[in-house]
A and B are shown apart, each in its own frame.
Chain A
Amino acid sequence: MAADKLRHELRARMERLGGTVTSYALRLGFASRFLAYMVMHSGTALRRFRLTIAEVYFAGVLSLIIILVSGLFVGMVLALQGYETLQRFGASESLGVLVALSLVRELGPVVAGLLFASRAGSAITAEIGLMKATEQLSAMEMMAVDPIARVVAPRFWGGVISMPLLAALFSAMGIFGGYLVGVQLIGVDPGAFWSQMQAAVDLRADIVNGVIKSAVFGVAVTWIAVFEGYDAPPTAEGVSRATTRTVVTSSLAILALDFVLTALMFTGGNAL
């Protein structure tokens, strides 16, 4: 009797687990189909480029303040912390190298990506989700306007264009913040600060790889954001949940992708 009950319970659990896995796989498949459809129907977004420009404004220009201010502070903190450690080894001239490499390789793309996900990604999801909840998307379909081509694709391209620029601005601002604290405040020699940085930072291996990273993050974050918005249940609760999911999923995606990309780029693939 007890064994029967246990078996029943176990079976129900296995079914629930299977159901969860299947629904995740289904959602991922739908998301991939959605991405393919969106890219193929990007003609309107690129031909009427003004639509995309407006989205670059909302995703990029409006994120500028948070990106610039956080970049400045991250650079300043890096310089303070780095100096504390480096001067113990008598290597405080390497401060520029430390600040520049950490920003260009890792912190620029990753932190800018996380900020972008929470500032612009959530806004994109909420906007598309609300348009769906208020049946604006259905209204467009009634007027024979494809909502994916008219609403979703411009937001996607706007985000993809903005993200690498934001990451570059973040890194540049961070290096400026490191210069302010390291050279102006602490008094590291400015010549050593810049020349050691230039000797250590490689254009191809560090800067181009950083830009590639930020572009990958841009695609991932905006894809997640537009998909969550489009897929949101058309209720107030559904939209709010979708917005939360966008921030959580894209933050995790950024960190996971960052590990993979770093392993591929900076260890020559040895770590994988």
Chain B
Amino acid sequence: MNRSAIDLWVGVFVVAGIAALLFLSLKVGNLATFSSGQTYRVDARFANIGGLKIRAPIKSAGVVVGRVADIRFDNETYEAVVSMNLEAQYAFPRDTTAKILTSGILGEQYLGLEAGGDGVMLKAGDRLRLTQSAVVLENLISQFLFSKASEAKSDKEPAKPAAK
């Protein structure tokens, strides 16, 4: 094989490799959707964040408007402090509600924003006052069991004297 043929093949190989890398970063990764960098940061406090993770999406009306930037634990109020980066093009009223929701029954958790009616918009560094914690499955199940148990008890109690 002569030199120019080798050069040609190596050139094709390198171009194909770089094309594969571009394909991975543009089509498979989220470079294209995440290059628009302008964001502002807002905090919110939750009693329980469940399985929320850093980089989880923040959705409003189902549309991704930002990402969770940081999760800390406040040792004075014993609450979780979630910092979120919202995209600058989306402005929300000051009395917006933040909820921790789950996509699907076993899906990952995300932060849902529900816009309020206030005329003043959120600024960088503001804190969302209205929050709703994650639903913890164990608490839900224990509540359900307790209510079932008390139901069963109230069913039984009037039956007892009748049997005697």
Q: Which chain A residues have a beta carbon within 8 Å of chain B's beta carbons?
A: 50, 53-54, 56-57, 60-61, 64, 89-91, 100, 104, 162, 164-166, 168-169, 171-173, 175, 194, 197-199, 201-203, 206-207, 211
Contact = CB atoms under 8 A, between A and B. Distances in A.
A56 B25 CA distance: 24
Q: Which 5 A-B pairs have the closest CB atoms?
A: A165-B17, A172-B20, A168-B20, A203-B29, A169-B20
A169 B16 contact: yes
Contact of B30 (A90, A173, A199): A199
A200 B48 CA distance: 24
B6 A54 contact: yes
Contacts, number: 85
Interface in B51-97: 55, 57, 64
B104 A91 contact: yes
Given A198-B29, A202-B29, A165 B20 contact: yes
A172 B18 contact: no
Nearest to A58: B6
Given A168-B24, A172-B24, A89 B29 contact: no
Interface stretch (B7-15, B121-129, B144-152): B7-15
Given A104-B28, A171-B24, A207-B28, A166 B34 contact: no
Nearest to A52: B10
Interface residues of B, number: 31
B13 A64 contact: yes
B24 A60 contact: no
B89 to A, nearest CB: 19
A207 B17 contact: no
Contacts of A203: 25, 29-31, 34
B107 to A, nearest CB: 8
Contacts of A201: 28-30
Interface string B1-43: 0010011011011101111110111011111111000000000
A93 to B, nearest CB: 10
A60 B10 contact: yes
A172 B18 CA distance: 11
B18 A165 contact: yes
Given A89-B106, A168-B17, A171-B20, A53 B6 contact: yes
Contacts of A104: 24, 28
A164 B24 contact: no
A165 B34 CA distance: 25
6 contacts: A90-B104, A175-B28, A198-B29, A198-B32, A201-B28, A206-B29
